Amino acid sequence: MTLDSSWHNRATRNRSGIRWVVAHHQEAQALIQWFQMKVLIQSDPYTVYTDDSGTHYLILSGQGRLAAAAATAFLYAYTASDRSTAWINFGTAGHSHLPLGQLVLANRIVEQQTAKIWYPSLVFSTTIQSSGLICSSKIETTYTEEALYDMESAGFYNSAARFTSHELVHCLKIVSDNRESTASIVRAHGVMEELESMRPAIGTFVDQLLELSRQESVRLMPPREFQAFIQQWKFSVTQRHQLASLLRQWESMAIEQTAFSALSRLDLSGKAVLATLSQLLHQHAYHLPRP
Amino acid sequence: MIEQIYLETEIADHPDAKRLQKRFPKAAVIPCTRYSEVFNRHAQNFRLQKRKPALILARKHVNHVLPTPPGYGIGGQHNYYFSHMLNCLYDCRYCFLQGMFRSANYLLFLNFEDFMLSIEQTIHRHRNEEVYFFSGYDCDSLALEGLTHFAERFLPFFKQHPQAFLELRTKSVCTAPFMQLEPIANVVIAYSLSPAQVAIEQEHGAPPIAARLSAMKQLAKMGWKIGLRFDPIIYHAKFKDRYAELFRNVFDGLDHAAVHSVSFGPMRFPKPMHDSIVKLYPQEKLFAAPLQLKNGMVSYPSMIEAEMMRYCKQALQQYVTADCFWGCLPEDTLK
């Protein structure tokens, strides 16, 4: 395994962002170029790319839903992702009649083998057309339903939706085959080479998803003074939750003095710190913020 | 603007399903077998969904009409509620819906005829007695009237059943369904009202108080019965001044005879709902208020609660007699 530890540090630092799961290098090339990603791990066990800021990570999963599920889980653990991290499965797909090269967002994913269904939740506007997506275990050639066909989405989605909410998990597909032009590697490569025209639509989609991810990251962030408190005093796990809650209240109340400075000189147990903090909070008049 | 419609296959041929698809021709229509696949699933983020809710069109199979929680009412012996829709156009930070439902999508039950049948059956069970039906418990009764046509359909229905009262609870300024009709004696249009500053800060997306009051007074002038709902009352350092100002504005130019009932109650949540909402909005100042857990409910400390209730009751008695005060507050603080 080729592993640059400084890159790994960056990975663990930036939990918001997008994790891309792509089956083949050919499908990933445009993304790697647009987001200026470099190789982070080479081939063992996966090839993973990332950008300088650690906003984007991309893993080459290989073909099939099990491979996609495993790669998604690996990327989650490797990049120390959390519930604010967004996930995209990107790649080619077949469709009964949509033209080759059409960019499509999945709004319903059906695992053909099990009939299990997932519904990605779109919470922003996009110009990208949406469609159902059927994940089959073999290359589709009959296109019986008016839907996209691929081989990875169900594995990816099932895995990624365990790590975050449905609003942050999406499948973006480029139509590479249809009833008129059945699947072939050459055709899929040709479609991916013409991705440049879709860059604005994909870019806008990615920006909006990133914004959601950032907002979630802020929501999940511990209060500003939390670290200082747990370094100074001992708290049980339950007490840490109570502390976080009280410190958030302190922040919300916009009290001028920091909570830490109000207590730092006191030699208290964790329990007493919580009680004192609570008392101090209740001494402040509760004003609504100004409109 | 609705951009995604989840459509139960069972109800796909319902005329309103077709009407709503026509209304949003650009919306992606996503089939589902049961609404619960989308609405009740795990790992949904209510806060994110609230940015752009989808519309779910479904059939409600059971429990069309349910008894209200104990103590909830506006003077009737028999109180029931029904919800043609789950979730609300507005995004009020104190709303319990955000802690109750996993999804913020608008779930609209299209089978109004089944609700009406259940209401009729309930009325029959209480033959010769007044029965109260509350709408607006799980949604705003009128905010999405343009889509749902709920009031348009239910007003004539309740007109045929004079012993059954309908309360439509709303923050909207929708008056259209009432303008075309003669006032119906057994229909109460109940407005949820807060001081202007509280509304601006906490009732995101809801019409300004001045607009609500204007719509309310217009309907009162026409002869419709009005309910005044000061619930929840939000505690803050200037609450007395602000609620006094609100009451002045409410009753200024309002024919007092049009007021059917007044209810008021302090902000409170069942603990699991409170915890869910705080997780969604951990930085929200509303929840930094001095709240306490009492008997499974998170609410203001008893002293603050009692002070708010006493003050509001006293202030409201300048305008209306105490016999039209109802519900929404702990019994002991009313007395």
What CATH number is given to the structural domain containing A65? 3.40.50.1580
Q: Which residues in chain B touch residue A205, judged by CB atoms under 8 angstroms apart?
A: none
Collapsing DSSP states into helix, strand and coil, what is residue B149?
A: coil
* Mean pLDDT to the nearest integer, A219-226: 92
Residue B235: pLDDT over 60: yes
**Phi and psi based region of residue B294 (left: phi greater than 0; alpha: psi -120 to 50; beta: remaining):** beta
Residue A289: pLDDT over 70: no
What percent of chain B stands above pLDDT 90? 89
* Residue in A closest to B242 by C-alpha: A288
Mean pLDDT of chain B: 94
Residues 6+ apart with CB under 8 A from A162: B43
Using the beta-carbon criterion (under 8 Å), do A252 and B283 form an inter-chain contact? yes
Structural domain contains residue A288: no
* Residue in B closest to A216 by C-alpha: B48
Nearest to A123 among B28, B38, B51 (CB): B51
Residues 6+ apart with CB under 8 A from B99: B269, B270, B272, B273, B274, B275, B276, B277, B280
User: Could you tell me which of B107, B173, B112 has the C-alpha nearest to residue B146?
Assistant: B173
Structural domain contains residue A155: yes
pLDDT digits (tens, 9 = 90+) for A17-68: 999 999 999 999 999 999 999 999 998 899 999 999 999 999 999 999 999 9
Pairing assessment for the beta strands B225-233 and B268-270 based on DSSP bridges: unpaired
pLDDT at A2: 37
Using the beta-carbon criterion (under 8 Å), do B283 and A245 form an inter-chain contact? no
Using the beta-carbon criterion (under 8 Å), do B38 and A165 form an inter-chain contact? no
**B48, B50, B87, B209, best to mutate vs chain A, most A CBs in 10 Å:** B48
Tell me which residue range forms the domain holding A25: 5-220
pTM for this entry: 0.94
Are A200 and A118 contacting, i.e. CB atoms less than 8 angstroms apart?
no
pLDDT digits (tens, 9 = 90+) for B65-94: 999 988 888 989 999 999 999 999 999 999
Q: Could you tell me the strand order of the sheet in which B297-299 lies?
A: B268-270, B297-299, B292-294
pLDDT at A180: 87
Q: What's the CA gap between A174 and A194, in Å, rounded?
A: 10
Using the beta-carbon criterion (under 8 Å), do A249 and B6 form an inter-chain contact? no
Residue A8: pLDDT over 50: no
Q: Which of A220, A242, A265 is the last residue of a domain?
A: A220
**A145, A286, A287, A290, best to mutate vs chain B, most B CBs in 10 Å:** A286
Do A241 and A277 share a structural domain? yes
Scored b (16 or more CB within 10 A) or e, B146-170 reads ebbebbebbbebbeebeebbbbbbb
Tokens of A75: 């990327």
* Residue in B closest to A215 by C-alpha: B48
How many C-beta neighbours within 10 Å does residue A179 have? 12
Using the beta-carbon criterion (under 8 Å), do B54 and A289 form an inter-chain contact? no
The count of C-alpha atoms lying within 13 angstroms of the C-alpha of B60, restricted to the half-sphere facing its C-beta, is 21
End-to-end CA distance of chain B: 47
Nearest to B48 among A108, A123, A125 (CB): A123
148-207 in chain A: CB under 8 A from chain B: 161-162, 164-168
User: Could you tell me which of A153, A148, A39 has the C-alpha nearest to residue A103?
Assistant: A148
Tokens of A63: 């073909």
pLDDT at A264: 82
Q: Which residues in chain A touch residue B287, judged by CB atoms under 8 angstroms apart?
A: 249, 252
How many C-beta neighbours within 10 Å does residue B259 have? 20
Residue A137: pLDDT over 70: yes
pLDDT digits (tens, 9 = 90+) for A168-222: 999 999 999 998 887 676 666 777 778 899 999 999 999 999 999 999 999 999 9
Structural domain contains residue A11: yes
Q: How many domains does chain A have?
A: 2
Q: What's the CA gap between B268 and B96, in Å, rounded?
A: 9
Collapsing DSSP states into helix, strand and coil, what is residue B263?
A: strand
In this structure, what DSSP letter does residue A251 have? H
pLDDT at B237: 85
pLDDT tier for residue A10 given thresholds of 50, 70 and 90: very low
* Mean pLDDT to the nearest integer, B219-227: 98
Residues 6+ apart with CB under 8 A from A212: A86, A123, A124, A167, A168, B48
Do A244 and A150 share a structural domain? no
**B32, B51, B103, best to mutate vs chain A, most A CBs in 10 Å:** B51
Q: How many domains does chain B have?
A: 1
Task: Determine contact: A224 vs chain B, CB below 8 A.
Answer: no
* Mean pLDDT to the nearest integer, A73-81: 96
pLDDT tier for residue A14 given thresholds of 50, 70 and 90: low
Are B165 and B326 contacting, i.e. CB atoms less than 8 angstroms apart?
no
* Mean pLDDT to the nearest integer, B120-140: 96
Structural domain contains residue A270: yes
pLDDT at B154: 98
Residues 6+ apart with CB under 8 A from B121: B65
Structural domain contains residue A291: no
Tokens of B177: 């369904």
What percent of chain A stands above pLDDT 90? 75
Q: What's the CA gap between B83 and B195, in Å, rounded?
A: 27
Q: What's the CA gap between B246 and A53, in Å, rounded?
A: 51
Residue B299: pLDDT over 90: yes
Q: Name the phi and psi angles at B334, rounded to 5.
A: -75, -30
* Residue in B closest to A133 by C-alpha: B30
Q: What's the CA gap between A141 and A139, in Å, rounded?
A: 6
Pairing assessment for the beta strands B259-266 and B225-233 based on DSSP bridges: parallel
* Mean pLDDT to the nearest integer, B299-314: 92
CATH, residue B181: 3.80.30.30
Nearest to A165 among B44, B234, B281 (CB): B44
91-150 in chain A: CB under 8 A from chain B: 107-108, 117, 119, 121-125, 130-132
Are A92 and A194 contacting, i.e. CB atoms less than 8 angstroms apart?
no
185-244 in chain B: CB under 8 A from chain A: 197-198, 200-201, 234-238
pLDDT tier for residue A7 given thresholds of 50, 70 and 90: very low
pLDDT digits (tens, 9 = 90+) for B163-198: 999 999 999 999 999 999 999 999 999 999 999 999
Tell me which residue range forms the domain holding B296: 4-334
End-to-end CA distance of chain A: 55
pLDDT tier for residue A5 given thresholds of 50, 70 and 90: very low
Q: Which of A220, A237, A254 is the last residue of a domain?
A: A220
Residue A285: pLDDT over 70: no
∠ CA B20-B25-B30, rounded to 5°? 75
* Mean pLDDT to the nearest integer, A229-246: 94
User: Could you tell me which of A122, A25, A195 has the C-alpha nearest to residue B5?
Assistant: A122
Residue pointed to by tokens 């796990």: A237
* Residue in B closest to A252 by C-alpha: B285
pLDDT tier for residue A1 given thresholds of 50, 70 and 90: very low
pLDDT tier for residue B333 given thresholds of 50, 70 and 90: very low
pLDDT at A288: 58
In this structure, what DSSP letter does residue B268 have? E
pLDDT digits (tens, 9 = 90+) for B15-74: 999 999 999 999 999 999 999 999 999 999 999 999 999 999 999 999 999 999 888 889
Lowest mean pLDDT among A8-12, A24-28, B237-241: A8-12
Q: What's the CA gap between A61 and A152, in Å, rounded?
A: 9
Minimum distance, in Å, between the CA of residue A218 and any CA atom of chain B: 9
**A84, A121, A170, A211, best to mutate vs chain B, most B CBs in 10 Å:** A121
Q: Which residues in chain B touch residue A160, judged by CB atoms under 8 angstroms apart?
A: none
Q: What is the ipTM of this complex?
A: 0.94
282-321 in chain B: CB under 8 A from chain A: 282-285, 287-290
Are B169 and B106 contacting, i.e. CB atoms less than 8 angstroms apart?
no
